[in-house]
Amino acid sequence: MAAFFLFAFFLLFLFLATYNLGLPGLHYDEAKEAGLNAMELLTGAPVTAFRRASVPLFGVQLPLMVQDYIGALNVYLALPLLWLTGIGVPNLRALAILTALVALLLLERAVAEWICLCRAEQGARRRRPPISLAGVMAVALLSVSPSFIFWSRQGIFVTNVMQPLTLACIWQGVRWLRLGRRRSLLLSAFWGGLALYAKVQAVWLVGPLGLLAGGWWLWQRRSTPPGAAKTPATPPLALPLLAGALGAFMLPLLPLILFNVQTGGLWSALSRNAQTSYYGVNNADWVGNLAVRWQQWGQMLRGDHFWYLGGVYGNELAPWLWGALIGSALWRWPKVLVGPLLLLLAAFGLSLFTISDLFITHFALLQPLAYGVAGVAGAQWLHKSATVLEQQGKDAKFWQYGRRGIVVLLLLAWLVLDVTATVRYHSALNRSGGLADHSDASYHLAYYLRYNGLGAPIALDWGIDAPVRFLSQGSVRPIEIFGYDSVAEPDANFKERLALFLANPDNVYLLRAEAQTVFRGRRQLFLDAVAEQARTAVLVQTFAQRDGTPLFEVWRAP
């Protein structure tokens, strides 16, 4: 029966997540962090490796990273899918959906292992733990969450490949603590290293997990009298095994290490933005950052932060039910909840510090664990109530039945409200086509450039290059000259770069509409530079959202 419900929620997730998968429009990060390099490798085009850091193989340059702190793992995972199905937005997003599906499966396995470890089930020490009620509840709640569904649809945008990798790390780490199998420790270390390569942000979970597992091992070892048996037994940990685990951890990090040796990119990003991030977040202001993160935590549980889909909907009960469920269960059964809750709290604490910005999308990494804790808490209420029912008289049973009924009704309300919000988002998305950076206007821009023979336009703002190149399958290659040094103002050499292209009156320039500008100051300098040459900048074409709001502009300076 448990397997049936698990399979049913997998199918429900697939239905909710894959509906009209081409919307919203392709985000810059989706194209930049997977689609673009994958398309280049498949079509034989020159590979635009980030910071030109790559390794040659059979005459092809394989990129090492796609950002200073994001590995090229999604690029290589996307290759077989795009090769089989073709180059397109739904095709690319199919990777993220499959990644989320694997995360749901691994969440159930990690929860089942944890339940077995806490109950010290001797009968389970030589076999795979059965599907647990806690795991099914965690999967049920996560599979219909608006945040999980819409983050999964654009999973490359939030690097959701970290989810299954960190869950695999947790699963095998707990399995090692439970069974003492060396292979599990090696696998846990390997998945942890691969998660860090996928995105360095995975350290929020991988680091605390290592500390907690080590602390648990030491506590078990010191609390066992000499010669006495301990349940569960302390797993063996010799120096060769530690060395092997370190090697397994470092192996998937070799591309990141090589990238940093070649470019110094990661070290530069960390050191330059350690105190004040790229977008101006003060990392010393942990109180202010805590207030922001706490608000975002509630938004993540409610799902009411997807304004760019064309509406804001959510489940107002979700944060209250999540907190009440975990708080009440922690009060009564702390042993089962304290481990994963400590891991979640440690990861949340690390989220107060950033080298970019306090983006709510960062919580895509923590959401599966948050719902895993909720699943464990809910299962405790139902499991303990069922145990008491077998032992008590008629009057006590009445109250136990009532308590179980209340828990079940609250969980059903949680599920129904989440599904309702998800369906409303889909309806809004069908009307809007996505807003701002997520608008399907980029599809029309790419089509216009491709079929008007404008193969090398000059991009004067962010967010245009990668989507256009992917959507045009490489036939349009915008040239970015706006400079990434500062969002607030152009660098000192911007005018010189611009002058090189203004010398050719046939060039075409791509800008964002004035109200949508990201890298400020470039637009006005472009207009001023054209005017200084006694020329007039001409707006050739505007591309707007479905509601008429202009987003992208095509200019000439004849």
pLDDT in tens, 208-266: 999 999 998 888 777 665 555 555 567 888 899 999 999 999 999 999 999 999 999 99
Tell me which H or E stretch contains 340.
Answer: helix 334-350
Lowest-pLDDT range of 48-52, 69-73, 378-382, 515-519: 378-382
Interval 1-22 mean pLDDT: 94
pLDDT computed for residue 122 by the predictor:
43
Q: Give the per-residue pLDDT at 389.
A: 45
358 and 238 in a common domain: yes
CA–centroid distance for 327 within its chain: 27
Answer whether residue 159 shows pLDDT above 90. yes
- CA distance to 26, 55, 80, 162, 223, per residue, from 65 (Å): 20, 11, 19, 15, 45
Same domain, 72 and 88: yes
| Integer CA distances (angstroms), 241 to 181, 186, 189, 207, 523, in order | 11, 8, 11, 19, 59
Residue type at position 235: P
pLDDT range class, residue 435, cuts 50, 70, 90: very high
For residues 332 and 441, the model is more confident at 441
Question: H helices of 144-202, where?
Answer: 146-153, 162-179, 182-198
Range of lowest pLDDT (273-277, 346-350, 513-517): 273-277
HSE at residue 111, side-chain half, CA atoms within 13 A, is 29
The residue behind tokens 């090769």 is: 83
Q: Are residues 277 and 397 in the same domain?
A: yes
Provide mean pLDDT across the span 512-519.
94
- For the whole model, what pTM was predicted? 0.93
| Domain match, 420 and 447 both | no
pLDDT above 80: residue 72: yes
Mean pLDDT of the chain: 91
Of 399, 416, 432, the domain-final residue: 432
Same domain assignment for residues 82 and 194 = yes
Q: How much is the pLDDT for 305?
A: 97
Q: How many structural domains are present in the chain?
A: 2
Percent of the chain at pLDDT above 70?
Answer: 93
486 versus 228: which is more confidently predicted? 486
Q: Are 316 and 389 in contact (CB under 8 A)?
A: no
- Let me know whether 403 and 493 are in one domain: no
| Containing structural domain, residue 467 | 439-556
Query: Do 53 and 186 fall within a single domain?
Result: yes
Residue among 456, 377, 328, 339 nearest 141 (CA): 377
Query: 458 with 427, same domain?
Result: no
* pLDDT recorded at residue 485: 85
Dump pLDDT digits (tens) for 94-138: 999 999 999 999 999 999 999 988 876 544 455 788 889 999 999
Regarding whether 484 and 383 lie in a shared domain, the answer is no
pLDDT of 388 strictly over 50: no
Question: Do 492 and 384 share a domain, yes or no?
Answer: no
- My answer on whether 318 and 185 are in the same domain is yes
Domain end, chosen from 372, 402, 432, is at: 432
Residues 444, 428 share a domain: no
Which of 432, 466, 481 terminates a domain? The answer is 432
Q: What percent of the chain has pLDDT over 90?
A: 79
- Residue 446 predicted with pLDDT over 90: yes
Residue 434 pLDDT class (50, 70, 90 cuts)? very high
Does residue 172 surpass a pLDDT of 90?
yes
- What is residue 290's DSSP assignment? H
